[in-house]
Structure 1
Amino acid sequence: MISWRKHYKKTLIAIGLLLSTSASFYGQDGDPKNGEKLFKANCSACHALDKQVIGPPLKGVVERVKTEGGVDRDWLHKWIKDNKALRASGDKYANEIFEKYNKTEMLQFPNLTEKDIDDILAFTTNPPAPEPEKTAETTPAEGTANAPADKTTTNIVIISLLAIAGLLVWILVKLRQLVTLGQSEDLAGLNATRVRSFSEIYQKYHYIGKGLLGILAILAAYGVWNWIMWIGVYKGYKPEQPIYFSHKIHAGEQKIDCQLCHSSAKYGKVSEIPSMNVCMNCHRTISEYNGKYLEPGKDKAFYDGEIQKIYAATGWDADKQQYTGKTQPVEWTRIHNMPDFVYFNHSQHVVAGEQAIINSFNKKNPNNKIDVVCKACHGKIDTMNVVQMANDFTMGWCIECHRTTEVDMNNGYNKEYFKNLHDKLKKQYPQDGGKITVDAIGGLECGKCHY
C-alpha cells in the first residue's frame, strides 16, 4: 500500500510537470491581454491572426511550428528577436520559411523582452474575447421620470385637435354667411361699384403701378448681375467619388499628414491627386476597417468594400499577396479647378508663405485657428468625410488675402532678400508701423496671376 502511494504521488508530480511544460510551450504562461497590445504595436503591420497579410497568419503559431518544423518556444524567441541571425546560423526551418514567403525578410525585434514574447505567443494561442459593448438601459427611475412628459405630450395633442375642430366650425359658419349674402340684393349693389378690368385699375392707380414696375426692374437687374458674378463659383461643391475616401478618418482620426499623400503641393505648382500606389503603401496590409469611428449611415462592411475597390484598381490579390497586373483606372472627379487664365503655385504658398498665412488666418479667426497652411484655403479638411470646396476662390477673395497677410520678415531668406525694400516700405507705410503685406511687394500686380 505504501509503495503504491509513493508511485501515485510521483505520477501526479510528473503529470503536473508535464502540464506546466505544455502550458509554457503553448504560450499560456504569458498575459494574452498585454500580448494583444504588443501584437498591435509590433506585428499587425505584417500579420493578422486569421489570414495571410505580408506574413502568415499567427493564430496557433506555437503549435504550428512544432508540427511543421519540430521546434519549440525557444526557437520562436530566437526567430522573433533576430530571424536574420537565425537563418545565417544555417537553421533549416528558418530558411524554409524565408523561401516559402518569397524571401520577404521579417523585421528584428531585439527590444522585446522574453516576457513580451511570451505575452504575444499567449495572445496568438488563446486571444481574449472582445469585450461586449455597453448598451444604454432604461432604469425604473428613468421610466417614471418619462411618464409625466408623455402625459403632457398627450394633453398638447388633444388641445391642438380641439382647436383645429373649433377653427373648422368657424370656417363653416362664415361660408354659410357668404352663401346667404350671395342670395341677397345687397350683393348685386356691391358688384355694381367694383372695377371690372385691369385697365381700369391701372388708370386709377397708374402712379403706384409705375413705381412697382420700377422696383421690379431694379430687383431683376440685381438678380441678373448677382447670377453673372457667381458663375464659376462652386463653394460647397462636394461630388461623389468612385472610391469613397474619408479625410476625417485618414487626416482626422489617424493623424496622417496632408503632404504624405499630396507631396507635390510642397514642391510643385499643382497638388496632384495621389496615385493608387500611394494608397497601397498602407492598404497592402490594411485589408479591412477596424477603426472606432463610423460615419452615420455607414458600417464596417461599407468601408471594407471600398478597400476592395482599391485592390481591384491596382490589381492586388490579397490572398496571394501579389499584383496580378490587371488594373482598372479610377475616374476621380476634380473638385478644385482654377481657370486656365489664372496662375497659382502651391509651393509658393506652402513653403514661402506657410507661417505668414497661418498667422494671418489665426489673427482674423481667433475662435477657429488652424495648425497647417492647407486649411487656410481648403477648410478644416480633417473634419470632412466628403471633401467640399470650402471657400469662394474668387479674384476678390485672393486679393483680400494678399492685402491682409503680412510677409514674414523674420524668415532668414526674406530678411536678407528684402532688406533694402523693407527700409523703403517702412518710410512709405509709416502708419502701419513698417508692417509689410503681400500687396506691398507686388501681390496685386496683374502679371503675378494672369499671363
Structure 2
Amino acid sequence: MISWRKHYKKSLIAIGLLLSTSASIHAQGDPKKGQDLFKANCTACHALDKQMIGPALGGIVDKVKKEQGLGPDWLHKWIKDNKALRASGDKYANQIYEEFNKVEMLQFPNLSEEDIDNILAYTTDPPKEEPKADAAATATDASANVQQSKDSQLNSQAILAAFVVIAGLLLWLLVKIRQLVKLQQTPELTDLNSTRVNSFSELYKKYSFVGKGVIAILAVLALYGVWNSLMWIGVYKGYKPEQPIHFSHKIHAGENKIDCQLCHSGAKYGKVSEIPSVNVCMNCHRSISEYNGKYMEPGKDKAFYDGEIQKIYAAAGWDPAKQQYTGKTSPIEWTRIHNMPDFVYFNHSQHVVAGEKAIISSFNKKNPNNQIDVVCKACHGKVDTMNVVQMANDFTMGWCIECHRTTEVDMTNGYNQEYFKNLHDKLKKQYGEGAKITVDAIGGLECGKCHY
C-alpha cells in the first residue's frame, strides 16, 4: 500500500513536470517580437496556415513533439544550422530535406536563442490582428454619407427649380420683344429694310475683296493645322494603356524600393531593356501569393491584388497548393508603351552605363524642382510614382537633339578623359578654359549615330 502511494506520488510529480514542460514550450518567447522576426526572416518561404516553398509553420512546436517526440531544442538546431544537423545523420532532418525536393533551407546563425524562442512562440500563438476600423466610426461615416447624399439631392432640386424660373423669364421676354417689333413695323421702316442685305451671297458680292482675304487666311491656317498634325503622328505622350495584368510600379519600385534593373536587366547590358518574362515575376511571387502591403490604389482592395497574382500563376503554370509547375503555361500579351521606329538606333546600355552620371546631372540642373536619382527617370519619368505606366516624354527627334546639345560628357571618367583629351584641348583653345564638352561635340548630332 505504501509502495503504491509512493508510485502514485511519483506519477503525479512526473505528470506535473510534463505539463509544466509542455506549458513552458508555449510560454517561452514573446509572440509580438516573434512576429517581426518571422516577417523579416521566414516569410519568403513559409506561412503559418499554408505550405509554400517550405511547410506551414503554424503549431510547428506541437507537431514536432507529437509526430517525432522532439522538443524545441531540435528546432533551435534546425533553424541555426540545418545543414550541420543533416550532416550529423539526424533522421527527421534528412526526412524533411527529401520531402521538400532537397531544397536547402537558409541557415540563421545570426539569430539568438531568445530570437528563436520568440519565433516559435509566434508560430504557436500568433497575436490577433487589430480591427482595421472601429464599428462606431464606420457607422458615423455611413450616416455622414447619407446626410451628404440628402444635401446633394436638395441642391440638385433647387438648381432645377432655378433653371425653370429662368426659362420662364426668357420666354416672357421673347414674347414682349416680338410685340415691340410688330409695333415698330411702320411703312418708313419697311422701305428701309428693303435696301438692306438679306443673305450671305449678297454680303459676299458687296464685300468680295474682304471675303477673299478671309478665305486666304483660313486656307493658310488649315494648311498649318494639317502640317502640325502630321508632325505629331507617332507622338503619344501620356499614353497609358490597360495591361492584361495590373502591375503597379508605385507598389514595386516605390513602396518596396525594387531596383529597376532587377526586372529590366537588359537596360544595363544590352540595346533593349526588355519586358520581363513571367519567370522574373515568379522569382518573388513564388513565395508571395497574396498582397499584404499598406498602400492601396483608389478603388482597389486586397482581393483585387490577390486576383492579379493568381493571373501570374496561371500564366506561369504554377500550382501554389502543390508548390510545383503544372506545365500548362499561358503567355501574357503585354501592351507595349515605348516603341522607337525601326529606322532609329537607340542603345540602352550606352545611356544607362556610360551616360548615367552625365544624364542625371544635366536633368537635375534643368529641373531643380523635379530632381531624379535614377537615370531611367530622365526619359521614362518618375515611374516609381505611377500605378499605371505612361509615356512621360515626347520621344521625338527634336527632344533627343535638345538633350544631346545640353548634356555634358562626364569628364571625371578616366576613359573619357583620355579618349577626348585632344578634343578637350581644342575646345579650350577655341572657346577658352571654361569650355564644356556636350554630347553634340563628340558626334551626338551625326545622322549615322541614330539612323541606319
- Going from structure 1 to structure 2, the CA distance change for 1:183 and 1:361 (only over 3 Å counts) comes to same
Residue in structure 2 matched with residue 247 of structure 1 by the alignment: 249
Q: 1:184: Cα distance to partner?
A: 4.6
Q: Pick the aligned partner of 1:295 from 294, 297, 308.
A: 297
Residue in structure 2 matched with residue 51 of structure 1 by the alignment: 50
Q: 1:52: Cα distance to partner?
A: 0.5
Mean Cα deviation higher: 194-203 or 275-284: 194-203
The whole-number CA distance in structure 1 between the counterparts of 2:259 and 2:104 is 28
Percentage of pairs with the same residue: 75
Q: Pick the aligned partner of 2:202 from 200, 203, 209.
A: 200
Residue in structure 2 matched with residue 226 of structure 1 by the alignment: 228
Q: What does the per-residue CA deviation read over 1:299-335, in whole Å, with 9 as the maximum and x for residues that have no partner?
A: 1111111111111111111111111222111222111
Q: What does the per-residue CA deviation read over 1:255-281, in whole Å, with 9 as the maximum and x for residues that have no partner?
A: 011111111111111111111111111
Residue in structure 2 matched with residue 439 of structure 1 by the alignment: 440
> Would you say 1:425 and 2:433 are equivalent positions?
no
Q: 1:46: Cα distance to partner?
A: 0.6
Residue in structure 1 matched with residue 23 of structure 2 by the alignment: 23
What secondary structure sits across from 2:391 in the alignment?
Answer: coil
Residue in structure 1 matched with residue 3 of structure 2 by the alignment: none
> Would you say 1:339 and 2:338 are equivalent positions?
no
- Going from structure 1 to structure 2, the CA distance change for 1:368 and 1:316 (only over 3 Å counts) comes to same
Mean Cα deviation higher: 13-22 or 91-100: 13-22
Mean Cα deviation higher: 391-400 or 291-300: 291-300
Q: 1:159: Cα distance to partner?
A: 8.7
CA contact (8 A) 1:28 1:125 kept: no
What secondary structure sits across from 1:186 in the alignment?
Answer: coil
Q: 1:78: Cα distance to partner?
A: 1.2
The whole-number CA distance in structure 2 between the counterparts of 1:265 and 1:360 is 20
- Going from structure 1 to structure 2, the CA distance change for 1:388 and 1:13 (only over 3 Å counts) comes to same
Residue in structure 2 matched with residue 106 of structure 1 by the alignment: 105
CA contact (8 A) 1:32 1:120 kept: yes
Pairs within 5 Å for 1:143-292: 164=163, 167-181=166-180, 184=183, 186=185, 189-190=189-190, 192-292=194-294
Q: 1:59: Cα distance to partner?
A: 0.3
Residue in structure 1 matched with residue 389 of structure 2 by the alignment: 387
- Going from structure 1 to structure 2, the CA distance change for 1:137 and 1:302 (only over 3 Å counts) comes to closer
> Would you say 1:352 and 2:351 are equivalent positions?
no
- Going from structure 1 to structure 2, the CA distance change for 1:90 and 1:153 (only over 3 Å counts) comes to closer
What secondary structure sits across from 2:35 in the alignment?
Answer: helix
- TM-score calculated relative to the size of structure 1: 0.89
Corresponding letter in the other structure for 1:442: G
Residue in structure 2 matched with residue 5 of structure 1 by the alignment: none
- Going from structure 1 to structure 2, the CA distance change for 1:340 and 1:75 (only over 3 Å counts) comes to same
CA contact (8 A) 1:246 1:385 kept: yes
- Going from structure 1 to structure 2, the CA distance change for 1:163 and 1:320 (only over 3 Å counts) comes to closer
Gaps spanning 5+ residues in structure 2: where? 1-7
Q: 1:175: Cα distance to partner?
A: 2.1
Q: Pick the aligned partner of 1:416 from 418, 421, 429.
A: 418
The whole-number CA distance in structure 1 between the counterparts of 2:98 and 2:47 is 20
> Cα RMSD over matched residues?
3.1
The whole-number CA distance in structure 1 between the counterparts of 2:301 and 2:153 is 37
Corresponding letter in the other structure for 1:320: K
Q: What does the per-residue CA deviation read over 1:42-67, in whole Å, with 9 as the maximum and x for residues that have no partner?
A: 11111001000000000010111112
Corresponding letter in the other structure for 1:24: S
What secondary structure sits across from 1:202 in the alignment?
Answer: helix
Corresponding letter in the other structure for 1:301: A
- Going from structure 1 to structure 2, the CA distance change for 1:244 and 1:169 (only over 3 Å counts) comes to closer
Residue in structure 1 matched with residue 31 of structure 2 by the alignment: 32
The whole-number CA distance in structure 1 between the counterparts of 2:305 and 2:153 is 43
The whole-number CA distance in structure 2 between the counterparts of 1:373 and 1:224 is 36
Q: Pick the aligned partner of 2:314 from 299, 312, 315.
A: 312
The whole-number CA distance in structure 2 between the counterparts of 1:230 and 1:195 is 44
- Going from structure 1 to structure 2, the CA distance change for 1:305 and 1:137 (only over 3 Å counts) comes to closer
- Going from structure 1 to structure 2, the CA distance change for 1:444 and 1:55 (only over 3 Å counts) comes to same
- Going from structure 1 to structure 2, the CA distance change for 1:406 and 1:24 (only over 3 Å counts) comes to same
Corresponding letter in the other structure for 2:51: Q
The whole-number CA distance in structure 2 between the counterparts of 1:202 and 1:156 is 50
What secondary structure sits across from 2:86 in the alignment?
Answer: helix
The whole-number CA distance in structure 2 between the counterparts of 1:133 and 1:41 is 23
Residue in structure 2 matched with residue 449 of structure 1 by the alignment: 450
Residue in structure 2 matched with residue 3 of structure 1 by the alignment: none
What secondary structure sits across from 1:427 in the alignment?
Answer: helix
Residue in structure 2 matched with residue 4 of structure 1 by the alignment: none
The whole-number CA distance in structure 2 between the counterparts of 1:436 and 1:281 is 43
Q: 1:165: Cα distance to partner?
A: 6.0
CA contact (8 A) 1:53 1:318 kept: yes
The whole-number CA distance in structure 1 between the counterparts of 2:158 and 2:318 is 65
- Going from structure 1 to structure 2, the CA distance change for 1:123 and 1:187 (only over 3 Å counts) comes to farther
The whole-number CA distance in structure 2 between the counterparts of 1:250 and 1:163 is 51
Residue in structure 1 matched with residue 89 of structure 2 by the alignment: 90
- Going from structure 1 to structure 2, the CA distance change for 1:404 and 1:137 (only over 3 Å counts) comes to same
- Going from structure 1 to structure 2, the CA distance change for 1:20 and 1:437 (only over 3 Å counts) comes to same
Q: 1:186: Cα distance to partner?
A: 0.8
Q: What does the per-residue CA deviation read over 1:352-384, in whole Å, with 9 as the maximum and x for residues that have no partner?
A: 111000000000000000001000000001111
What secondary structure sits across from 2:70 in the alignment?
Answer: coil
CA contact (8 A) 1:181 1:187 kept: no
Residue in structure 1 matched with residue 400 of structure 2 by the alignment: 398
The whole-number CA distance in structure 2 between the counterparts of 1:54 and 1:138 is 39
The whole-number CA distance in structure 2 between the counterparts of 1:75 and 1:320 is 27
- Going from structure 1 to structure 2, the CA distance change for 1:187 and 1:246 (only over 3 Å counts) comes to farther
